[in-house]
Copies of this chain bind each other. A is one copy, B any other.
Amino acid sequence: MAHGQRTQMRGAELDLLRQIRSRVSGGAGVALGIGDDCALLRPRAGQEIAVTTDLSIDGRHFRVGWYSPEAVGHRTLARGLSDLAAMGARPLAAFVSLGLPKDLVKSARTGKSWVSRFYDGLLALAEAHKTPVAGGDMAESPVALADIVLVGAVPRGRALLRSGARPGDGIYVTGALGGSAAGLAKLAELGGAARRVPARWAAMLQPHLYPQPRLAQGEWLRRRGIAAAAIDLSDGLSTDLAHICEESGVAAEVDAAAIPLGLGATLDQALHGGEDYELLFTARAGKRVPARVAGVAITRIGRVVRRQRNRPQVALIGDVATQPLEERGWQHFI
Partner of A95, one of B7, B53, B134: B53
- A63 CB, min distance to chain B CBs, angstroms: 7
Given A42-B49, A53-B135, A139-B57, check contact A334 B17 (CB 8 Å).
yes
Please state the number of chain copies in the assembly: 2
B99–A21 CB distance below 8 A: no
Whether the Cβ atoms of A273 and B137 lie closer than 8 Å is no
Q: Does A27 contact B (CB under 8 A)?
A: no
Q: Which of A257-265, A299-307, A325-333 contacts B (4 or more CB under 8 A)?
A: A325-333
CB pair B147 A55 closer than 8 Å: yes
Chain B residues near A332 (CB-CB < 8 A)? 7, 137-138
Interface of chain A: mostly helix, strand, loop or mixed: mixed
* Shortest Cβ gap from A26 to chain B (Å): 15
CA distance A62 to B2 in the complex (A): 7
- A window 6-36: CB within 8 A of B: 6-9, 17, 20-21, 31-32, 35-36
Of chain B, the residue at the smallest CB distance from A181 is B1
Residues of B contacting A180 with CB < 8 Å?
A: 1
Asked if B1 contacts A329 (CB within 8 A), the reply is yes
Q: How far is the CB of A192 from chain B (nearest CB, A)?
A: 10
Complex contact A95–B149 (CB within 8 A)? yes
Query: Would you call B333 and A139 a contact (CB within 8 A)?
Result: yes
Of the listed stretches A82-90, A193-201, A313-321, name the one at the interface; the rest are far from the partner chain. A82-90
Contact A61 B139 (CB under 8 A): yes
Give the one of A37, A134, A329 with max B CB within 10 A: A37
Given A40-B49, A41-B49, A147-B97, the answer on whether A20 and B334 have CB atoms closer than 8 Å is yes
Question: A218: shortest Cβ distance to chain B, in Å?
Answer: 10
Say yes or no: A40 contacts B334, CB within 8 Å: no
**B328 lies within 8 A of A6 (CB):** yes
Contact B1 A136 (CB under 8 A): no
Task: Say yes or no: A145 contacts B43, CB within 8 Å.
Answer: no
- Which residues of chain B are near A274, meaning CB under 8 Å? 1
Q: Does the CB pair A36–B2 fall under 8 Å?
A: no
Within 8 A of B (CB), among A161-214: 161-163, 180-181, 184, 188
Instruction: Please determine whether B37 and A334 come into contact, CB atoms closer than 8 angstroms.
Output: no
Q: Is A52 close to B, CB under 8 A?
A: yes
Chain A, 111-132, CB within 8 A of any chain B CB: none
**Chain B residue nearest to A50 in the complex (CB):** B38
**Which residues of B lie under 8 Å from residue A51 when comparing CB positions?**
38-41, 93, 95, 134-135, 149, 151
Given contacts A36-B247, A37-B52, A53-B135, 4 further A-B contacts (CB under 8 A): A1-B275, A1-B330, A95-B149, A142-B143
